[in-house]
Structure 1
Amino acid sequence: MDLISELPEPLKEKILFALPTKDAIRMSFSSRHWQSLWNTGWNSLPVTRINLEDSVSMEDSFTSSLLEHEGQKRIVHFSLGDGVEEMTRFDVDRWIKMVTQYYVTELKLDITHSFPPATFDVGSLVVLSLTNCILDPALIQKDTIFCHLKSLGLRYVDLNGLVGELFSRCPLLESLDLTYCEDMQHVELCDVPNLKNVVVMQNYSDVPHTFKMQAPNLESLDYQECARERPLNLEEVCCRNLKRLDIDHQQTTITNQYIEEVVLKFPLLEDLVLNADCFASADDIDDELKTCCLNISSRSLTKLNIAGETSDAMNIIIDAPSLVSYESHSSGVSHSISFKSVKLEKHILCLDEPTLDTEWFIHLRSYLGKCSPHVAGLSEIKIYSPQSVEKKISSKLPKTEVTPRPRVRELALVRVPFDPADDAEALIDGLLWSCQPMQVRVQMSHDNDYENNFIKSIHEMLMDGERESPCDCCQETHYKCWRHYLKSVTLQSYIITNDGTEHCYSNENSTMDLTHFEEPCDAIFALQWFDDLK
């Protein structure tokens, strides 16, 4: 045993943590004894977290803030935001040099300068997040190894051709985020056994020409491309243990064949998100029924999310016995959907910016009517930013029963820009003709006076509908409107007052006056329905 190892423990700790960061970390790997000493001493050091967002603007304030922290021995977190004004390259470098001397483990920088400074100790880093900067070749000097780095985030960063070499210097990397970076035409992630989570998002101007990945323990992959007309090349992705996959191809058609390849490629996949321009192709069309089919079959899937235009002539068939949650995003509804799952708990239908005319309401009712009562009862319908609603819709909807009115769990209206005087009645008449929701939710955006009045108009309609005498409407037809089936309405609404305090108001008797509302967040109406006409 060498003489230095025989020194008292406190003295050895003092020696170890007096060394520069890089030398201290290397020393800790020289033997198990020094590794244990490092771990013990590391946990005993005083801990400091520094977040600079917009508090450092003038030079004197910057200098005093820097001097305040220069005596710290362990700075576990340092964050420098884009709100910091008048900070030069020299100022940024000085901060980074200082915090890396004190064993910083989490470094988050939003800067317009190149990174890193001329001298930069990276050995203690566990989390590195860079935004809006340019990678400097100094980051991958000959002996630079990110030996403890587990999380790397690069957002709006000019990679300067260094991305491949950088990955090879991170042997313990577990999480990687590449969001809208420049100069990443070729992305290869190979020999990364610890990698578990990857996010790759690219804009129209800089889509990778090649994307290869060999990550045997990868669990989650988010991949987005905006310009390419073909989806992710699955042959270049070797991740047999993948459990979550999010593919976003806004200019691409995703076919049944591609979905089948996804399921076969990743046999353990539990969570699948598919975002495309549209689904199915000419090859998937049933010539006899004049419809197209989207088939998804998987034994392992528990969550499925589909975003993209689906034709009203499309039949969706989902054979997934373990499926718990299904969600779709489109402006319209498909022809029908069927599930082969005994575990289904959620069926969420998100309708983005639809034009609400007679045909749209008929399709919605037909779609829900073709669902089993169990699936319909689990349905949550969310309508986002509807473009328009057809006037006097109640007089144009069919006066015969197309299908029984399906019961659904919730109907949500989000960011409704309509003039309440003209559109509230048409919207409610159309929606309650299409289904019988157990709850109606109107979500607010806080910046539109129309919405405040819109909630009040809906409130008045529902209250009037509950109290309406059967003799007051529908006298000229045997077909009866939704008012004849409405049993009771209970109002709940969350209010944010001017002092910022959140209050919840509820009224079992449904007589609450909404005129005093200042800034409603959500208005929630709980509805009960008769099985037969009242």
Structure 2
Amino acid sequence: MQKFRLLIGLVNVGLYFPCLDGWIGFVLENEVKELNLDVQTDIETTRVLFSAKWVTTLKLSGCKLKLSSDTLKLHSLRSLALVEVRVNREMIQKLVSECLLLEELSMAIDVDTPNLLYFSFVNNPIPVSSMNAPRLRKVELGKSDPDTRWYLDVKEFLVGVSNQIEDLTLCFMSKWIMGDTVEDNEIDRISELPPFIVHQIMSHLSAKEVANTSILSKRWQYLQRSFPILDFYEAYTYFMDISYPIFSRRKRAIIRISIERFIEYVDASLLRFCELKFSMQKLRLLIRLLDIKELSYVLDKWIGLAIENGVKELDFDVQTLRDPVYTLPGIVFSAKSLTTLKLAGFKLEQPLDIIRLRSLKSLTLNYVCISELMLQKLTSECVFLEELSMSNCCGSKCVHVFEAYKLKIISISVSSNELESIKIVVPSLQELLLKSSNPQRRQIDVDGCTNMNTLVLEGFTIIDREFHHLMSKFSALENLKVVWCQSLERLAISSDRLKNISIVTCSNLKAITINTPNLVSFVYTSNPVPISSTMIAPCPWKVDLKNKGDLDTQWYLNIKEFIGVSNQIEDLTLHVTSERVSFNLDEFRISSPSAPCEVANLCLEINAPTSDYEAFLDGILNVCHPRTLSVQKTQVNHNNFVEWLHEKMMNRDVNCCNSRKVKCWQHYLKDFKIGGFVPEGGQKCFHIDNLIDVLPKIPMGTVLFHLDWCFAAVENS
């Protein structure tokens, strides 16, 4: 569960408290991330709340917190807000000291949390007692009726933290501030700006925020009504994800009423704008229709009004319970001012007349029924078309694009088996993205796109010979991305022009040959280790390898051979799931006597028997010497490897190989330090003093270690 928000006033606490207790327990069992409770009564919060280890945001209002003797398990908590909550000082101090990842706190308390970055005291007493938050950078203070005492409290509070604060915000929410008044009819500075500037500012707001501006004043009401971007999409989608047939008759009636009210709102807004005789910049609409035949005239009317008012961007998404059945009205094909057309859930029928979309530059079709002839007519007669995007469309066995002399970008995404072939003859094309979500083989002919510089192939069933033929036609190609092409086994790429190569999740790759002397970036992600590799790619590498079988010495040799030709390995990530790991150092050194590779960051995710940890670590640290070692903690059992690794590094045996000519990695590691912890999905690294003690408490994420190697000794050996 992502979020649970509850506002409730309990008159009979004894009667309804078990219900509240049960609700909280239920959402915690479902791993809720954000919890907002406003119970509006002096009731003690259930203690199970303090074991909510998945909660990242907690806001409590109108309740009572009682000190718990148990250790708090709010391991993921980053934001805590207490509003009108009865709580003693000891409980607050326990909260902030045991919530190790806490970053934002809104309350008046003694603070002792080293990672606190943001503190807010709005309409609360200013705390003047101890403040131990060395990383505090942002403070927000406010009062509805500030007086002299309040200013003195603020000054006293800031004395202890002023040298570290970067951002101080003061909020005053009163007409009376130290004896001065603000008149109700005073005009704000923004309202004095010309309408076109205000509209430019409003274009950066959401649809809901723009609608809210109308309540500020009559001036703002006019500015909102004349705003040329009409967006009925983002803020009105609350009923869109329903599966209509499963609801009861009463629920269906409620949904139908909601849609009817939405239609009335859109209709009134459009008519009001059109009465002003202004040009329309954009109309964006998402609507779900239960009866398309009954309401198609409404859509025709709205589209007609938009085109009559010179709309430049038209974005319509019509969702129905069946396949697309609403036919786009013919008036759209004569919209001379239209530059961007985005349609979803439509049926496009070929017009009898010539298409007069003389300004159209971008065309996007999602879940649209369109014939081959209609697509060819659109692309050839829209002479200024620069970008074409098609996703999950139907009605065509072949996508054939030609005589589109300005077209620069084409994106085609396929999910059904209906489409059999793609043929594109567009010399001006610069970027091509082909994506398929099913394994059906399709004929691809794009030989006529000789000037293309970016190619993305995702999910297509394409064999080695077809791929090599494709690559031979694009001498100007600079960017190549190959994703989920499971039929590729031997990849060969040779080009002086290529700058960026990304190969992702091609799980059957066995050999790779790359000759790209001018490459700037190479990404090889979620693929197996190639058995054979010949690489000329003098650029930073990012390599992510997966293995789900047993590991032996040859596996480590393959990795070293693959990455050994590069001296710029930025990231090497290994995901290993294995029931048996073996490694023989003597065999490894005989086959590969060269020094281990230098790697900026080595990231490990290992699921293997504890008894095989040492063999795994010996193998990988003889392949490479990383400056940073990152261990992913995505499962509880990953704690075992982190604990073992920490113990191994702290107590490494530098005399283990004295009697042997070939030395292991322990002889070349000068120093080892704990770098910190980065929570899953976060970017900020948190300092950890005692890793073993806090490891069971911290949430999922990555534990970092810094390694200092004696590279000169490695070379000499």
Structure 2 length normalisation: TM-score? 0.54
1:157-192: CA deviation from partner (whole Å, max 9, x where unpaired): 222453222223321111111222212212221111
Q: CA offset at residue 300 of structure 1?
A: 1.0
Task: Report if aligned partners of 2:311, 2:338 keep a CA contact under 8 Å in 1.
Answer: yes
Task: Report if aligned partners of 1:263, 1:298 keep a CA contact under 8 Å in 2.
Answer: no
The reply to whether residue 130 of structure 1 matches residue 327 of structure 2 is no
Q: CA offset at residue 425 of structure 1?
A: 6.9
Choose which of 454, 457, 465 in structure 1 pairs with 2:648.
465
Unaligned 5+ segments in structure 2 are 1-225, 240-257, 320-324
Q: CA offset at residue 126 of structure 1?
A: 1.6
The reply to whether residue 145 of structure 1 matches residue 356 of structure 2 is yes
1:177-211: CA deviation from partner (whole Å, max 9, x where unpaired): 122221221222111111001112323512333x3
Name the structure 2 match of 1:14: none
Name the structure 2 match of 1:326: 522
Name the structure 2 match of 1:238: 448
Name the structure 1 match of 2:559: 367
Indicate how the Cα distance of structure 1 residues 358 and 164 shifts in structure 2: closer, same or farther if over 3 A, else same: same
Give the Cα separation in 1 of the matches to 2:516 and 2:414.
31
Name the structure 2 match of 1:397: 583
Indicate how the Cα distance of structure 1 residues 506 and 512 shifts in structure 2: closer, same or farther if over 3 A, else same: farther
Unaligned 5+ segments in structure 1 are 1-44, 282-293, 445-450
The reply to whether residue 411 of structure 1 matches residue 602 of structure 2 is yes
Give the Cα separation in 1 of the matches to 2:630 and 2:310.
50
Amino acid at match of 2:426: A
Indicate how the Cα distance of structure 1 residues 369 and 324 shifts in structure 2: closer, same or farther if over 3 A, else same: same
Name the structure 1 match of 2:180: none
Name the structure 2 match of 1:504: 685
Choose which of 158, 167, 170 in structure 1 pairs with 2:379.
167
Choose which of 65, 70, 91 in structure 1 pairs with 2:271.
70
Q: CA offset at residue 253 of structure 1?
A: 1.7
Task: Report if aligned partners of 1:452, 1:520 keep a CA contact under 8 Å in 2.
Answer: yes
SS in 1 for 2:314: strand
Name the structure 1 match of 2:212: none
Amino acid at match of 2:560: L
The reply to whether residue 48 of structure 1 matches residue 258 of structure 2 is no
Amino acid at match of 1:201: S
Residue range with higher mean Cα deviation, 523-532 or 513-522: 513-522
Task: Report if aligned partners of 2:559, 2:623 keep a CA contact under 8 Å in 1.
Answer: no
1:354-390: CA deviation from partner (whole Å, max 9, x where unpaired): 214223x6324433246546x0542533345x5x222
Task: Report if aligned partners of 1:389, 1:427 keep a CA contact under 8 Å in 2.
Answer: no
1:225-284: CA deviation from partner (whole Å, max 9, x where unpaired): 5555476335xx3122111122346433213x852x444422211112345334467xxx
SS in 2 for 1:252: coil
Structure 2 counterparts to residues 24-39 of structure 1, below 5 A: none
Task: Report if aligned partners of 2:423, 2:444 keep a CA contact under 8 Å in 1.
Answer: no
Structure with larger Rg? 2
Structure 2 counterparts to residues 40-439 of structure 1, below 5 A: 46-53=227-234, 55=236, 58=258, 59-72=260-273, 73-81=278-286, 89-90=295-296, 91-112=298-319, 113-117=325-329, 119-120=331-332, 122-131=335-344, 133-137=345-349, 140-161=351-372, 162-203=374-415, 205-209=417-421, 211-224=422-435, 226-227=438-439, 229=441, 232-234=444-446, 237-248=447-458, 250-255=460-465, 258-259=467-468, 261-275=469-483, 276-279=485-488, 294-307=491-504, 308-309=506-507, 312=510, 314=511, 316-329=512-525, 331-341=527-537, 344-352=538-546, 354-359=547-552, 362-369=554-561, 371-372=563-564, 375-378=566-569, 380-383=571-574, 386=576, 388-391=577-580, 393=581, 396-400=582-586, 401-402=588-589, 403=592, 404-413=595-604, 418=607, 428=617, 431-432=620-621, 434-439=623-628
Indicate how the Cα distance of structure 1 residues 206 and 265 shifts in structure 2: closer, same or farther if over 3 A, else same: same
Q: CA offset at residue 324 of structure 1?
A: 1.7
Give the Cα separation in 2 of the matches to 1:323 and 1:471.
41
Task: Report if aligned partners of 1:399, 1:477 keep a CA contact under 8 Å in 2.
Answer: no
Give the Cα separation in 2 of the matches to 1:174 and 1:443.
44
Give the Cα separation in 1 of the matches to 2:563 and 2:611.
32
Q: CA offset at residue 433 of structure 1?
A: 5.0
Name the structure 1 match of 2:145: none
Q: CA offset at residue 490 of structure 1?
A: 3.5
Q: CA offset at residue 505 of structure 1?
A: 0.9
Amino acid at match of 2:555: H
Amino acid at match of 1:345: C
SS in 2 for 1:70: helix
Amino acid at match of 1:242: M
Choose which of 677, 680, 686 in structure 2 pairs with 1:493.
677
Give the Cα separation in 1 of the matches to 2:313 and 2:613.
51
Q: CA offset at residue 303 of structure 1?
A: 1.7
Larger RCO, structures 1/2 (Cα 8 Å, 6+ apart): 1
Give the Cα separation in 2 of the matches to 1:170 and 1:475.
77
Give the Cα separation in 1 of the matches to 2:609 and 2:675.
19
Name the structure 1 match of 2:133: none
Give the Cα separation in 1 of the matches to 2:280 and 2:604.
47
Structure 1 length normalisation: TM-score? 0.71
1:134-178: CA deviation from partner (whole Å, max 9, x where unpaired): 3232x6351442211111112232224532222233211111112
Amino acid at match of 2:559: Y
Indicate how the Cα distance of structure 1 residues 523 and 333 shifts in structure 2: closer, same or farther if over 3 A, else same: same
